Amino acid sequence: MRHIISVLLENEAGALSRVTGLFSARGYNIDSLNVSITENPHLSRMTIVTHGSNEVIQQITKQVNKLIEVIKVIDIKQKDYEEKELVLLKLKLENNEISTIKNTLKQLDIKYNIIDEHNTNNGYSIYIFEIVDNVMAIDKFINNIEKSKILELARTGASAMGLGENIFRVDNY
């Protein structure tokens, strides 16, 4: 089962490697990882996507919570949440294929921008798409594209946040 673990930790050197080291030492894979500073400059928020049974995830969160730098850990999927990912996708398309790609994005209701277009002399164009949506929609779109058309792909990994009054932060830190 897929889980999204959110970790608030002290914003200091080595904290990230200690958390990820805990995963690798126990043989758990991290599907995606992103980390950045929060509204409090002394804290970072780490979002980890991993797979495992509820028991395994519970064990992971307990182990992560024992680390000195870690302030708080939750499994976001236990509550109502919204998840997004940013993807930069560079495609090589014949000049008449761009409309097909746009139609596919529209059919999947995926939000996107074309941030670069480069026409070549060889009858094709190179486009960079900026896509922001949920991971499943992005995966579905990418799987629909002929692999030879994908020149580059950069994904941020999931970011997730609880809805409504589900607030993940610490006060007075």
pTM attached to this predicted model: 0.83
pLDDT at 122: 86
More confident residue, 105 or 28: 105
Separation of alpha carbons 38 and 170, rounded Å: 11
pLDDT at 82: 92
Residue 56: CA count within 13 A, CB half-sphere: 13
Predicted confidence band at 92 (pLDDT cuts at 50, 70, 90)? very high
What pLDDT digit, counting tens, does each position of 107-116 carry? 999 999 999 9
- Stretch 125-145: mean pLDDT, rounded? 95
DSSP single-letter state for residue 122? T
pLDDT at 113: 97
Task: Tell whether the model's pLDDT for residue 172 goes beyond 80.
Answer: no
Q: Tell me if 90 sits within 8 A of 149, measured CB to CB.
A: no
pLDDT at 148: 94
Separation of alpha carbons 61 and 27, rounded Å: 14
For residue 164, CA distances in Å to 82, 120, 127 come to 10, 48, 37
Separation of alpha carbons 113 and 59, rounded Å: 40
pLDDT at 128: 98
